[in-house]
Chain A
Amino acid sequence: GAVVSQHPSWVICKSGTSVKIECRSLDFQATTMFWYRQFPKQSLMLMATSNEGSKATYEQGVEKDKFLINHASLTLSTLTVTSAHPEDSSFYICSAKDLTATQPQHFGDGTRLSIL
């Protein structure tokens, strides 16, 4: 089945640090990748849609300058949390769809971000 790799799985860093999270589709080409945030015992909250070679589309209320998304190739998208603060601590999950628009999303295993 489709495999999406997300790295790192867990990161702890000091307030003010910028953190980069990578999302790779390992066995298919992903024209579209999605970035989600999930708080404990809550559902997925879509942050942005990332399309290869173009600017990401952010959901309402998500700060573009805070959460920088780059989708430079058909297999890699990155999310950079800039100048992270404790309130940015959360579980971040990416997903990817292959070139066929009707296919479902496949998720990475998530990144637990803790800002001290």
Chain B
Amino acid sequence: QKEVEQDPGPLSVPEGAIVSLNCTYSNSAFQYFMWYRQYSRKGPELLMYTYSSGNKEDGRFTAQVDKSSKYISLFIRDSQPSDSATYLCAMSARTNAGKSTFGDGTTLTVKP
């Protein structure tokens, strides 16, 4: 079983919809949680970075972390065609040489 599980999708929604992306994990040592967006043939771009449990909001994006359930989510409000990309969750522990463990990514298409 992988340390981080992420539904690969693909996920297709109409413009303006609320999108929910999720990851589960098994390593209780993870304390730092990230969401990256990757467009085709580009490197991942950091969207959200959170520490421990709780919510963080940035514009149309909200990241939630529930450490008790080992579950993280990224919500995108008022989705736009430009949000079409692959979304990667990532997490890391305080130790382990700064490495992050990545999910396999969820491919999202927002249709106009």
Residues of A within 8 A of B (CB): 1-2, 4, 6, 32, 34, 42-44, 46, 49, 57, 91, 93, 95, 97, 101-102, 104-110, 112
- Most chain A CB within a 10 A radius of its CB, from B34, B94, B100: B100
Docked complex Cα distance between A102 and B32 (Å): 8
Determine whether the beta carbon of A43 is less than 8 Å from that of B42. no
Q: How many A-B residue pairs have CB under 8 A?
A: 57
Determine whether the beta carbon of A43 is less than 8 Å from that of B104. yes
Determine whether the beta carbon of B43 is less than 8 Å from that of A49. no
Determine whether the beta carbon of B32 is less than 8 Å from that of A91. no
Determine whether the beta carbon of A101 is less than 8 Å from that of B43. no
Contact with A along B22-54 (1 / 0, CB 8 A): 000000000010101000011111100101000
Residues of B within 8 A of A (CB): 32, 34, 36, 41-46, 49, 51, 88, 90, 92, 94, 97-100, 102-105
- Most chain B CB within a 10 A radius of its CB, from A2, A46, A105: A105
Distance from A56 Cβ to chain B, minimum over Cβ atoms (Å): 11
Sorted from nearest, which 6 A-B pairs have the closest CB atoms? A107-B43, A43-B104, A109-B43, A110-B43, A107-B44, A104-B49
Determine whether the beta carbon of A32 is less than 8 Å from that of B97. yes
Closest to B103 in A: A43
Determine whether the beta carbon of B43 is less than 8 Å from that of A6. yes
Given contacts A32-B97, A49-B99, A104-B34, contact A93 B43 (CB under 8 A): yes
Determine whether the beta carbon of A109 is less than 8 Å from that of B100. no
Distance from B49 Cβ to chain A, minimum over Cβ atoms (Å): 5
Residue in contact with A57 in the complex, picked from B36, B49, B97, B100, CB distance below 8 Å: B97
Docked complex Cα distance between A34 and B49 (Å): 18
